[in-house]
Amino acid sequence: MKKVSKKNLERIVSRFGRHRILVYGDVMLDEYVWGSVNRISPEAPVPVVQVERQSSKLGGAANVALNLKMLGDQPILVGVTGNDSGSLRLKQLLNENQIESGGLLTDSTRPTTVKTRVIAHNQQVVRADWENAKEIEDKLAERVLDKIKKEVKTVSALIISDYGKGTITSLLLGELIELARKHRIFVAVDPKETHFMSYKKVSLITPNHHEAGFVSGRRITSEKVLEEVGRGLLDALQAESLLITRGDKGMSLFEQGKQVTHIPTVARRVYDVTGAGDTVISSFVSAVSAGADLKEAAWISNHAAGVVIQEIGTAQVSKKELLEEIKANCTF
């Protein structure tokens, strides 16, 4: 295997773009209410937020698609929304970012997942969620699979973005992974604990250390436990690789038949980890599509995450920003 180097990483990122990447999962809308707090409510011991502005961003699988778009690739987004104002706003944002919304199916029995965060003085005060996490009906799942079958032959990779909001079912996962493997497509999964053992034989799975520990029934308190958990999950899932994200401790990459690779964080400050997992999986898959091996892709995704967690709210990193980050902060 070629040695990971700054020069190699720069060369790979420069090749980002023009790849068609299929994204399937829980699409959602992230809303933000921005303001300031100057007093406590006389009605209850809670802060009164003086609202100054509001904004909306793509969330969940839609944010994965936006991350890919920012890196220069062409995301093909497939998911489910409700028949409501949240869906209209989500599709408007997709259109503004030149991402096709034709792969979004409508389920009028459920709302579009919307997360509203109230932020004052750069701190999140409260979050309100509109959602129905019940799994979609079999007939709708069949329509989802039909959409994916039409696209799968033309893409370089498939990202499954599971936020546990009902779009992804265990039955659908099995068919989807088998379909991708049949066409020799790189399959990457950002997992939810409820479906974890259904993600078998994928190319990459990216749990955080809490998710990995929960599924394994062990709290990760040391590198020794981390390695045991990582190896155990890798073998149980028969996956090609597993990337455990560890917050301020960076990431750890597990590959079949190889030693674990520990990658330290590159973030100088951490303001908000919202959407960081979306950035990790999208930049990893963009790197693989551009010819990176798994270690190179992991280092690149670590640099990408280091950029977005310095921003408040759901954020993305552009190809130019990522290249500048690697040039400035890669130390080898």
Q: What pLDDT, in 10s, does the model give residues 289-329? A: 999 999 999 999 998 988 876 665 556 788 888 988 888 77
Q: What is the dihedral of CA 246, 164, 132, 143, to 10 degrees?
A: 140
CATH topology of domain 6-29+59-112+132-329: UDP-N-acetylmuramoyl-L-alanine:D-glutamate ligase (3.40.1190)
At residue 275, the pLDDT reads: 56
Task: Provide the token pair at 132.
Answer: 């129905």
At residue 324, the pLDDT reads: 83
pTM summary value: 0.92
Tokens 């995450």 found at: 305
Q: What is the dihedral of CA 185, 276, 17, 145, to 10 degrees?
A: 40
* Tens digits of residue pLDDT in 213-266: 999 999 999 999 999 999 999 999 999 999 999 887 889 999 999 999 999 887
Q: Which ranges of the chain does DSSP label H, i.e. alpha helix?
A: 6-14, 61-70, 85-96, 138-151, 170-182, 209-216, 223-237, 276-289, 294-308, 319-329
The residue among 160, 205, 136, 199 whose CA lies nearest residue 24 is 160
Which residues have a catalytic role annotated? 278
Residues in contact with 138: Cβ distance below 8 Å, sequence separation at least 6, in sequence order = 171
At residue 1, the pLDDT reads: 45
Ramachandran angles phi, psi of 27, nearest 5°: -80, 145
> What residues does each domain of the chain span?
6-29+59-112+132-329
The answer to whether residues 166 and 26 touch, using CB atoms and an 8 Å cutoff, is yes
The answer to whether residues 214 and 252 touch, using CB atoms and an 8 Å cutoff, is no
